[in-house]
Structure 1
Amino acid sequence: MRILAWNCRGLGNPGAVQAVKLLISSEVPDVVFLSETRKSVTKMFSMRRSLGLPNLFPIGCAGNGRSRSGGVCLLWNDDTNVKITHGSLNHILCMAKHFQSRSQMHILAIYGFSEAQHKLRTWELIQRLKPPDTTPWVCVWDFNDVLSPSDKLGGDPVNVAHLQLIDQALQDCGLQDVGYSGYQFTWSNKRSIPNLIEERLDYALMNDSWKALWPVMEVFHLTRLSSDHNPILVSCGSTKREVFRKQKRLFRFEEVRLHDSEECAEIVAEVWSNGFQDVNSKITNVGKSLQLWGRLKFGAIPKKVSDLKVKLQNLQRSTQTDEVVAAIRSTEAELESLLK
């Protein structure tokens, strides 16, 4: 199972929408949680098809116009048996079935309270939603809180008394930090030193029953795109090979091909006119022909996107001088232009 979670900081920006599509296309998740969509339920349903996954459970944002805030949603593919239990602006609780044992799994997506005086409400919410100890349980997403002093760089020191209360809540719920691969921090105020603040606010917590069901589990901190948060990918499997192997990507028609719709239509018509092939073979061959034509016509855009993501990731991990921050902004703009 692959779970993608991201605070996208608003889907009104076309760059953020393209970033979500890129993440879904490249990481091939089974389940996606998005927070801070800043969209109504109606708007989210109208965007569902463009985001690349067929199933959607949205909770609309609060406020109107420029005062809009919040908004969360769950997207999932047809192969994943998901049942929504309930949700709010701060969580989505769903049940899923393990594909082999058919065991019921408890997946709690948390978008933590951001105000300092309300942060404990996040952990009280988790405690209220705790399932029986024998139920495999994972909590993921943006907790808006750190788990240790080492999870913060810059700014005011972490409140140790608050961390002790978090630790007690984790013990009461039987939850443990899964850990991560990649750069430590998942949020940045995107400033240069000495005003830089970075924190690990996005992570995954699991109980012993989940660990028994999924012996190998990795949390990957992905490249930060069009947001001040990094997406995280939670990959679960029986072996390391399962966890690190991406699923086979399906052919998807890319909008860039419509930039030369006449030539695109000619290719489709030529392949489809082959009377010696069945429908499935024609669909497969149309996909192959369009992929080859796309590479020749528009260049290796996926390769350029991949190279820019690596460059951006390296910049984000570098010492944040004024020059590096400027380079990050320039690379982000170049990447956003390519994604459009």
Structure 2
Amino acid sequence: MSILVWNCQEAASPKFTRVLRMIMACHKPSLIAVLESHISGRRADDVIKKLSVLHSHRVKVNGFLGGIWLLWNKEWSVTILENDKQYIHASVVENGSLLMHFTAVYGSPSLMHRRRLWQKLHRICDQSQVPWLAAGDYNALLTADEKRGGAMHRSSIDKDFVQWFEANDVIDHGFRGPKFTWQRRCLFGRLDRALCNEDLCLRFKEASVFHLPRLYSDHRPILVQLNMLGASHTSDRPFKFQAAWMTHELFGQFMLDKWSRSSDLMSSLGGLTVDLKDWNFHVFGNVYKQKRQLIARIDGIQHYLENRQSHFLQKLEMQLRRELDTIRYREELIWFQKSQAD
């Protein structure tokens, strides 16, 4: 049971769809908040359709404010309580019982507009007598150490944000992973976070917030894991030819080496099936495992580069990103083939 919040900065690109689908496949969030989509209307409908979610709600793009989306499937029932240019406030119900209130936040880059956000969030805090979670891009810092780089002589702390935070007894849920959620060149900041009230902490005592790797936007996706992950279950499945195998650089030579032209068709197919299972396990490998390993390596490099420079690691990150694009493409082929079989 988890919530994903991501300032994608641009949802029109096909790469956004691929990356978000990959994150969804990895973490299976029950609710997704997309911030700064920068598209509305039919274009937004087309993108959301490709994400294969059942339900969605949107705040339209307005000037410099790039729009907010809420996406969810049938696991939860979501009712929109309030729309605003800087947030969507909703109730979340599971199995007929109120689970919590959730607010997807996108704070304006304008200090004046953000002041109105704190006033409205103050009212929501004051009225919420249930577990409440507010997560997103606040575009504001609580402490000086949440920024690195840029003009260090001028404080970047948003005093109105600090005042709202302290006046409402809001709890910063902390995080796991690299500290900074946003990067532009040599400037780093913790702009994205998950905040909650005491009721939510008491209901979800094992909740954790994860800063996921940056794979498309300047912002890291934020994953709020509300409970412990359940054990995975695997089962034996019948053998099927995978179209994704044909994208591997060694597959063509493998087929030339293993296909027997001297035997009858059924014998050749039977032997090839055994060889393909072995090749899939030892050469092609588990696409999902490879994806997790690549993401973990990229995350580790980004964590290191937050504190020091390394041209070697910068080049390695770009190489790993290209490898990840290949793995993502193979994963898409696998999921497409499964969807056609279903």
**Same fold, TM-score > 0.5, yes or no:** yes
**Corresponding residue number in structure 1 for 2:72:** 76
**What are the superposed Cα offsets for residues 108-142 of structure 1, whole Å, 9 maximum, x if unpaired?**
11011113554433323322333525222111011
**Corresponding residue number in structure 2 for 1:5:** 5
SS at match of 1:124: helix
**Corresponding residue number in structure 2 for 1:276:** none
The amino acid of 2:191's aligned partner reads L
**What are the superposed Cα offsets for residues 13-32 of structure 1, whole Å, 9 maximum, x if unpaired?**
22221110011111011100
**Aligned partners of 1:158 and 1:23: how far apart in 2?**
38
The amino acid of 1:205's aligned partner reads L
Tell me, yes or no, if the aligned pair for 1:146 and 1:201 is still in contact at 8 Å: yes
1:174 is displaced (CA, Å) by 2.8
Matched, 1:179 2:169: no
**Corresponding residue number in structure 2 for 1:22:** 22
Tell me, yes or no, if the aligned pair for 2:38 and 2:67 is still in contact at 8 Å: yes
1:294 is displaced (CA, Å) by 11
**Aligned partners of 1:129 and 1:142: how far apart in 2?**
18
**Corresponding residue number in structure 1 for 2:87:** 91
**Aligned partners of 2:105 and 2:6: how far apart in 1?**
11
1:91 is displaced (CA, Å) by 0.9
| Pair 47,116 (structure 1): closer, same or farther in 2 beyond 3 Å | same
Tell me, yes or no, if the aligned pair for 2:140 and 2:157 is still in contact at 8 Å: no
Matched, 1:120 2:115: yes
Deviates more, 1:155-164 or 1:129-138: 155-164
Q: Tell me which of 296, 310, 323 is aligned to 1:334.
A: 323
**Aligned partners of 2:32 and 2:278: how far apart in 1?**
31
The amino acid of 2:198's aligned partner reads D
SS at match of 1:130: helix
**What are the superposed Cα offsets for residues 198-256 of structure 1, whole Å, 9 maximum, x if unpaired?**
1111111111122222222210111111111111110113xxxx2x447779x9xxxx8
The amino acid of 1:51's aligned partner reads L
**Matches for 1:131-210 after TM superposition, within 5 Å:** 131-157=126-152, 162-189=157-184, 191=185, 196-210=186-200
**Aligned partners of 2:226 and 2:162: how far apart in 1?**
24
| Pair 230,295 (structure 1): closer, same or farther in 2 beyond 3 Å | farther
Mark the runs of 5 or more structure 2 residues left unpaired by the alignment: 247-276, 330-342
> Which aligned segments of 4 or more residues in structure 1 are displaced greater than 6 angstroms?
246-249
**Aligned partners of 1:224 and 1:153: how far apart in 2?**
17
| Pair 24,294 (structure 1): closer, same or farther in 2 beyond 3 Å | farther
Number of equivalenced pairs: 290
**Aligned partners of 2:146 and 2:30: how far apart in 1?**
28
SS at match of 2:216: coil
The amino acid of 1:168's aligned partner reads Q
| Pair 225,49 (structure 1): closer, same or farther in 2 beyond 3 Å | same
1:160 is displaced (CA, Å) by 5.4
**Aligned partners of 1:179 and 1:169: how far apart in 2?**
18
The amino acid of 1:93's aligned partner reads H
Tell me, yes or no, if the aligned pair for 1:27 and 1:246 is still in contact at 8 Å: no
**Aligned partners of 1:12 and 1:6: how far apart in 2?**
15
The amino acid of 1:4's aligned partner reads L
| Pair 123,157 (structure 1): closer, same or farther in 2 beyond 3 Å | farther
1:339 is displaced (CA, Å) by 2.0
Larger radius of gyration: 2
**Aligned partners of 2:172 and 2:153: how far apart in 1?**
18
Matched, 1:317 2:303: yes
